[in-house]
A and B are shown apart, each in its own frame.
Chain A
Amino acid sequence: MASARTLQWKTYSLLAPIVFFAASGNVLLGKGMKQVGGLREWSPAALLALFARAFSSGWIWLGIGSLLLFLVMFMVVLSWADYSFVMPVSAASYALVPLMSRFFLDEKVSLLRWTGVALISVGVALVSRTQATGGERS
């Protein structure tokens, strides 16, 4: 039985890559889909053609790989940590996406989005002051 302190660090050491892979997965998919192009009409044929183009993009596959790694680590961390702890803390990826888009995709980020980044950061800071494993009653 690990101490609460050890568990807290074990949780953080998985949450860091979880946040990173969720954010990089979305940024890579975004980059891939920008190259693939948008959907002009919502017909099944157009959707199918879009998927075919998307799966021939290397960025899309890197994005899918990132999100798969995210999913596996998400499952592992939930084998001991509270969902109500993991869920808000992993939202840090939403704060990371504007940062990555700004520096990696060279997109402009509005003041409103920076405000959102600030709110998420404060929220994650608050949640991470609570115990990761309150314990699921079962």
Chain B
Amino acid sequence: MRTALFMSLAVLGASGGELSVSHAMKQLGELHHFSPRSLINFLARALRVKWFWTGIALLALGFFSLLALLSWADVSFVIPATAMGYVTGALGARFLLGERLTPLRWAGIVLVSAGVALVSLS
């Protein structure tokens, strides 16, 4: 039960964090010039977006939940299970961000998720 709770926090924290950061970056708009000055300007603007900080907070929650989880659960179970994050991330992109996911993209995401789980099995 405790394991399930922390696993959910780890996966949803990481996905939710990246989704929030993605949403924040979309609010900034496409970066066109890659000079150091415009890059610094871009990062400075990012720090003023609420969703960016929401994202960082969620990523931190996910990271520390994972760390806590690893203190009692088996690494060879925990890390492959976090590959679920690719599917929750895709669901979030579809239903929270409203991105259009083609069947081809869904197929790729499922394969990537399975592949990451296998790679991290030790």
Contact = CB atoms under 8 A, between A and B. Distances in A.
A135 interface: yes
Interface string B1-45: 000000000000000001101110110111100000001001100
B105 A85 contact: yes
Interface stretch (A29-37, A53-61, A76-84): A76-84
Interface in A50-92: 72, 74-76, 78-80, 82-88, 91
Given A95-B119, A119-B114, A80 B71 contact: no
A42 B19 CA distance: 31
Given A80-B31, A123-B110, A137 B118 contact: no
A138 B93 CA distance: 12
A134 B112 CA distance: 20
B115 A78 contact: no
A136 B121 CA distance: 34
Contacts of A86: 22
Given A79-B29, A83-B18, A94 B111 contact: no
Contacts of B118: 112-113, 115-116, 119
B98 A87 contact: no
A118 B115 contact: yes
A25 interface: no
A116 B116 contact: yes
A127 B71 CA distance: 35
A4 interface: no
Contacts of A127: 104-105, 108-109, 112
Interface in A120-138: 120-130, 134-138
B18 to A, nearest CB: 7
Given A129-B104, A136-B23, 18 more contacts: A75-B21, A76-B31, A76-B39, A78-B26, A79-B26, A79-B28, A80-B30, A80-B31, A83-B19, A84-B101, A86-B22, A87-B93, A97-B119, A115-B115, A117-B115, A118-B115, A124-B112, A127-B109
Chain A to chain B: the 10 pairs with minimum beta-carbon distance, closest first: A116-B118, A119-B115, A123-B111, A126-B108, A137-B98, A116-B119, A120-B115, A127-B108, A123-B112, A84-B93
7 contacts: A84-B93, A94-B115, A117-B115, A123-B108, A124-B112, A126-B111, A134-B101
